[in-house]
C-alpha cells in the first residue's frame, strides 16, 4: 500500500527509538507536586483554591483565564501549601500551586476502572463540555485547548479529522507505547471527536517505522467498527508529524501563509490527545496524567523508560527515580532533539504536554560555525519552502519588513535547515528570533484593526 508523505523538503535523521520496547510504568507519587498555571496555549489559568485547602485528585483547582485557556485539576490528593511563582523549564517564574501529597483519593464521579466504554454519546455539546471541563489540551506540542479546536468558527467545516501518530521526532516513544497499550481508548477518542465535528472521516496516520502500532490500530479500528475511521501508513520522514505536513500527506491540501488547518477542512489531533478525550468524556477523568519517555544516546538500554506521570511532578524527581542524570550527558532536553526545549531548570514541574527527558552526549554538541558555502541544502530541506539562509541574513540586518515579506512567520521551527547545514550555522536559533519579531509586528497591526 502507498505510504503517504508531504511534498517538499524534510530530512531523514536516525530514529533512535531506544525505548520503544519499554512498557509504560506508573511513577510513584512524590512528597509534593507543583502545578503550573501556564501549561496550555493562551491565557494563564486562575487559581480557585487557597493555601490550607485540602484537595482530591481530579478536583478543579484553576479556571480558564480567557477564551483560549483551560481548566487545571489537582493531580493528587493533599493540602495546598503555597501559591506563587516558581521557575519553569526555561528558568522563568510562573505561577504554581504547590500541593503536599496525602494519600491518593480521587474526586467523586471519576471512573478509574479499566473497563472500555465504547458507546458514543448522542449529544455533541455534552462531549464538548466534558472535554472543556476536564481541561483537555493538545498533547502534540502546541497544547492548544482541545474544546476550542474542535469547535470550528461559523462558516468553517471539518472535512477530515487527522489523528497524528507519526511521532517523527527521533528518540520519543510515548505515542508509540500508547498506540500499543491504549489502542482501543485512542480509537474511541477518535470516534468522540468525529461526533463533535459532525461525522467527518478520520485518518489515523502512523509512520512506517512503527509496524506494531499500525497493526494494533488497524485491528482496533476493525473490532470497534465505527464508521469512517481508517489507518494510513506515513513515510518515515521528518517533520512528518507537523500539522501542515500531515494535512499535505493525507488530504493533499496546502494551508496557506497565516492560515489554519480548518481553512482547508482539516482538524489535526495527536493520539495522546485522543486518549485524553476518551478519558475526559467516557470516564469523566480530567487531564492530570500523561506518558513521557526517559531516553538518550548516553543512557544504557536498561535505564530507558516510558513513564505514566502526573502533572506537577518535578523533572528532578523523575530523573532521580530513573537513576539520576547519566555521566556523559551534555544536553538535557524536554521533547525531541529537533524541536524540544533545553532544560535549564531540572526542578521544573511536568506539565500536561511533557513528553520526555532526553539526555544527549558528546556527539550532539554543536560544532563551530564556518562561513556559508551557498550550497542551498537548507532551502532544499525546508518543508515550508522558505530560504533559511536569507532569513538569517535579514535577521542580522534587522530588516523585519523583508523578513515578513519572505514569510519568516511561516517557519514551523522544525530545525531541518540547521540539521542539513554543512557549515553548522545556527539557522533555527536566528530564524526563531526573527519569527518572534515578525509575529510581534503582525499582532500589533491586527490589534489596531
Residues of this chain that interact with ligand SF4 (CB under 6 A) are 372-378, 381-382, 384, 386, 388-389, 411-417, 420-423, 425, 427-428, 431
Of 133 and 372, the one with the shorter C-beta distance to ligand SF4 is 372
Backbone angles phi, psi at 106, to 5 degrees: -100, 155
Count of C-beta atoms within a 10 Å radius of residue 227: 9
| Residues sharing a CB contact under 8 Å with residue 306, sequence separation 6 or more, in sequence order | 19, 22, 23, 24, 25, 173, 174, 177, 291, 292, 293, 294
Of 6 and 171, the one with the shorter C-beta distance to ligand SF4 is 6
Of 301 and 373, the one with the shorter C-beta distance to ligand SF4 is 373
Of 10 and 78, the one with the shorter C-beta distance to ligand SF4 is 10
Residue owning grid cell 484593526:
449
- Minimum distance of ligand SF4 from residue 54's CB (angstroms): 47
What is the Cα–Cα distance from 40 to 132, expressed in whole angstroms?
13
- Minimum distance of ligand SF4 from residue 418's CB (angstroms): 7
CB 265 within 8 A of CB 160: yes
Of 51 and 373, the one with the shorter C-beta distance to ligand SF4 is 373
- Minimum distance of ligand SF4 from residue 192's CB (angstroms): 32
- Minimum distance of ligand SF4 from residue 405's CB (angstroms): 15
Q: Pairing relation of β-strands 78-87 and 93-101?
A: antiparallel
Q: Given its phi and psi angles, is residue 135 left (phi above 0), alpha (psi -120 to 50 degrees) or beta?
A: left
Cis peptide bond upstream of 239, omega within 30: yes
* Grid cell at residue 127: 462531549
- Minimum distance of ligand SF4 from residue 106's CB (angstroms): 42
* Grid cell at residue 123: 449529544
What is the Cα–Cα distance from 428 to 341, expressed in whole angstroms?
13
What is the Cα–Cα distance from 303 to 135, expressed in whole angstroms?
32
- Minimum distance of ligand SF4 from residue 255's CB (angstroms): 13
Of 337 and 415, the one with the shorter C-beta distance to ligand SF4 is 415
- Minimum distance of ligand SF4 from residue 419's CB (angstroms): 8
Of 299 and 386, the one with the shorter C-beta distance to ligand SF4 is 386
- Minimum distance of ligand SF4 from residue 361's CB (angstroms): 24
What is the Cα–Cα distance from 301 to 399, expressed in whole angstroms?
48
Local structure of residue 238 (DSSP, 8 states) = B
Of 127 and 381, the one with the shorter C-beta distance to ligand SF4 is 381
Torsion, Cα 370 372 377 382, to 10 degrees, reads 100
Find, among 315, 271, 289, 268, the residue nearest to 134 by Cα: 289
Using alpha carbons only, what angle is made at residue 5 by residues 342 and 138, rounded to the nearest 5 degrees? 45
Amino acid at each position: 500500500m502507498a505510504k503517504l508523505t508531504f511534498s517538499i523538503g524534510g530530512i531523514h535523521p536516525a530514529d533512535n527509538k531506544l525505548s520503544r520496547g519499554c512498557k509504560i510504568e506508573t511513577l510513584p507519587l512524590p512528597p509534593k507536586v507543583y502545578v503550573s498555571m501556564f501549561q496550555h496555549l493562551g491565557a494563564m489559568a486562575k487559581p480557585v483554591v487557597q493555601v490550607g485547602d485540602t484537595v482530591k485528585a481530579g478536583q478543579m483547582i484553576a479556571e480558564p483565564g480567557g477564551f483560549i485557556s483551560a481548566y487545571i485539576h489537582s493531580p493528587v490528593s493533599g493540602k495546598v501549601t503555597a501559591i506563587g511563582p516558581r521557575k519553569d523549564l526555561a528558568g522563568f517564574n510562573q505561577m504554581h500551586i504547590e500541593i503536599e501529597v496525602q494519600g491518593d483519593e480521587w474526586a467523586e464521579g471519576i471512573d478509574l476502572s479499566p473497563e472500555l466504554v465504547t458507546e458514543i454519546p448522542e449529544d455533541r455539546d455534552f462531549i464538548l463540555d466534558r472535554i472543556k471541563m476536564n481541561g483537555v489540551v493538545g498533547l502534540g506540542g502546541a497544547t492548544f485547548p482541545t474544546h476550542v479546536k474542535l469547535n470550528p468558527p461559523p462558516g468553517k467545516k471539518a472535512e477530515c479529522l487527522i489523528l497524528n501518530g507519526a511521532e517523527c521526532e527521533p528518540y520519543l516513544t510515548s505515542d508509540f507505547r500508547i498506540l500499543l497499550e491504549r489502542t482501543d481508548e485512542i480509537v474511541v477518542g477518535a470516534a468522540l471527536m468525529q461526533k463533535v465535528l459532525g461525522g467527518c472521516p478520520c485518518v489515523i496516520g502512523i509512520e512506517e517505522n512503527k509496524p506494531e502500532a499500525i497493526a494494533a490500530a488497524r485491528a482496533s479500528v476493525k473490532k470497534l467498527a465505527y464508521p469512517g475511521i481508517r489507518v494510513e501508513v506515513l513515510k518515515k520522514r521528518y517533520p512528518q508529524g507537523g500539522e501542515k505536513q500531515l494535512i499535505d500527506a493525507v488530504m493533499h491540501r496546502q494551508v496557506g501563509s497565516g492560515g489554519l488547518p480548518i481553512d482547508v477542512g482539516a482538524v489535526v489531533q495527536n493520539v495522546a490527545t485522543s486518549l485524553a478525550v476518551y478519558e475526559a468524556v467516557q470516564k469523566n477523568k480530567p487531564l492530570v496524567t500523561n506518558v513521557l519517555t526517559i531516553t538518550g544516546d548516553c543512557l544504557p538500554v536498561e535505564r530507558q523508560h516510558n513513564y505514566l506521570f502526573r502533572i506537577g511532578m518535578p523533572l528532578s524527581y523523575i530523573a532521580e527515580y530513573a537513576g539520576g542524570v547519566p555521566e556523559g550527558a551534555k544536553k538535557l532536553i524536554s521533547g525531541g532533539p529537533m524541536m524540544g526545549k533545553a532544560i535549564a531548570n531540572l526542578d521544573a514541574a511536568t506539565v500536561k504536554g511533557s513528553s520526555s527527558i532526553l539526555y544527549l552526549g558528546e556527539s550532539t554538541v554543536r560544532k563551530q560555525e564556518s562561513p556559508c558555502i551557498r550550497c542551498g541544502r537548507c532551502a532544499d530541506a525546508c518543508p515550508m519552502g522558505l530560504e533559511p539562509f536569507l532569513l538569517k541574513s535579514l535577521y542580522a540586518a534587522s530588516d523585519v519588513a523583508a523578513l515578513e515579506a519572505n514569510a519568516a512567520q511561516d517557519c514551523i521551527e522544525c530545525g531541518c535547515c540547521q540539521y542539513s547545514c554543512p557549515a553548522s550555522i545556527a539557522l533555527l536559533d536566528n530564524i526563531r528570533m526573527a519569527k518572534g519579531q515578525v509575529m510581534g509586528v503582525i499582532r500589533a497591526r491586527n490589534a489596531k484593526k
